A and B are shown apart, each in its own frame.
Chain A
Amino acid sequence: MSDRKNSGPDDRLFRRVLDKLAQNPPELSDPEGLTEEILRAVSGTPPQRSDRKIRYLRPVSGRILVLQRLLAAASVFLLLILGVEQYGILSDINTLERQSKHAGQTIRNPHPYERLRSRKSGNILSEKLTAHLLLKTNSAGLTHQNPVLP
């Protein structure tokens, strides 16, 4: 206890209390009884193999404790993030499903031919198609009929 500074009355009190604690070991009642208890316990316990060593995982070291707590906090944080993300994705999926259902009822997917026909008559592609149909009809020897364009 050489590194203890002796300055004020509080230090003297501190030293006195510590000295009393150090100089007064606790009294062991019935030591013979304890010896017999130990020997009885030992006689029923077979010794373990010499290659097995006692391994203590630093129970008093603060480092592992801090690491454990950090990992626990990180895992809880990750679980929270996972929950929030899942909720967001699920709500997006629900919205999309609702929208697509609604769209399926109102919008028909027209045939490409119908789509072409529905365009304005001035459209080049539409004109080309009309000409192609006419040619096809004539070559088949059918009566000439102009396709009805909208």
Chain B
Amino acid sequence: MMTPPEEFVARLICHDQKAFRELVIGYQKIAYSMTFRILCNEEEARDAVQDGFVKIWQHLGAYNRHQNLYTWMNTIFIHTALDKLRILKRRNEIRFREVISLIDRFTVETPEHRLENQDLADMIHLLAGKLPTTQRMVFILRDIQGLDSSEVQQMLELSEDQVKSNLYHARKSVRKILTKLMSTERRLL
């Protein structure tokens, strides 16, 4: 996403409610998609977006204008979601039959087919749920959310090498999980 105009940022820093409303309307969907992919839970993701915006409002005075506003905001959303993830109760495991039908829905060759939020949450949880937190975050932000490596480095306070190695290990684990699921499915058919 592009950097917002200077005048808009100045209004935000002065705690202009109208400008903040515009920011919320324009960015809440992106923030929600990010927190949802981290938390795999609709209600928790919604709460994380709300808490994140409140933190942004509270700390707008501390925002450094040399930094990209959206990167700064994403950092707040990510850490808010991570705090929630730590206290979130363990998710119920998905049953094997549901896993098979879930993979079918994902591998079907119809791009126009809209996937349900629950399917997305289940698939992310299935693939990345057991990864260590850093690997999981790097994988979600880089490969699913599609953020730049430099942005991920800033948001997670990691070096370039750390991002690369975490992404490499995460992809390897995810591939292994998918291969295992597919081989089990093939054996059953």
Chain B 138-149: CB-based contact to A (< 8 A → 1; otherwise 0):
000001111000
**Chain B residues near A13 (CB-CB < 8 A):** 107, 178, 182
**Cβ contact within 8 Å between A42 and B144:** no
Closest CB in chain A relative to B143 CB, distance in Å: 6
Closest CB in chain B relative to A50 CB, distance in Å: 3
Q: B11: CB under 8 A from chain A?
A: no
Chain A 96-112: CB-based contact to B (< 8 A → 1; otherwise 0):
00000000000000000
**Chain B residues near A43 (CB-CB < 8 A):** 17
Enumerate B4-28 residues with CB–CB distance to A below 8 Å: 15, 17, 20-21, 24-25, 28
A49 to B60 Cα, complex, angstroms: 9
**Cβ contact within 8 Å between A39 and B24:** yes
Closest to B164 in A: A3
Using C-beta atoms within 8 Å of the partner chain, give the interface range for chain B: 35 or more
Q: B115: CB under 8 A from chain A?
A: yes
**Cβ contact within 8 Å between B132 and A41:** no
**Cβ contact within 8 Å between B59 and A53:** yes
**Cβ contact within 8 Å between A41 and B76:** no
Closest CB in chain A relative to B176 CB, distance in Å: 9
**Cβ contact within 8 Å between B143 and A45:** no
**Chain B residues near A28 (CB-CB < 8 A):** 28-29, 32-33, 46
**Cβ contact within 8 Å between A24 and B107:** no
**Chain B residues near A29 (CB-CB < 8 A):** 42
**Cβ contact within 8 Å between A42 and B182:** no
A58 to B53 Cα, complex, angstroms: 21
**Cβ contact within 8 Å between A47 and B15:** yes
Q: B69: CB under 8 A from chain A?
A: no
**Chain B residues near A26 (CB-CB < 8 A):** 32-33, 36-37, 42, 45, 117, 120-121
Q: B179: CB under 8 A from chain A?
A: yes
**Cβ contact within 8 Å between A14 and B174:** yes
Chain A 44-86: CB-based contact to B (< 8 A → 1; otherwise 0):
0111111111101011111000000000000000000000000
Of A16, A18, A31, A41, the most chain B CB neighbours within 10 A belong to A18
Q: A17: CB under 8 A from chain B?
A: yes
Closest CB in chain B relative to A28 CB, distance in Å: 5
**Cβ contact within 8 Å between B134 and A61:** yes
**Chain A residues near B171 (CB-CB < 8 A):** 4, 14
A-B contact pairs, 6 of them (CB 8 A): A17-B106, A38-B28, A38-B53, A41-B54, A54-B59, A61-B134
In the A-B complex, the 6 residue pairs with the smallest Cβ-Cβ separation, listed nearest first, are A50-B61, A25-B33, A26-B36, A24-B115, A38-B53, A42-B57
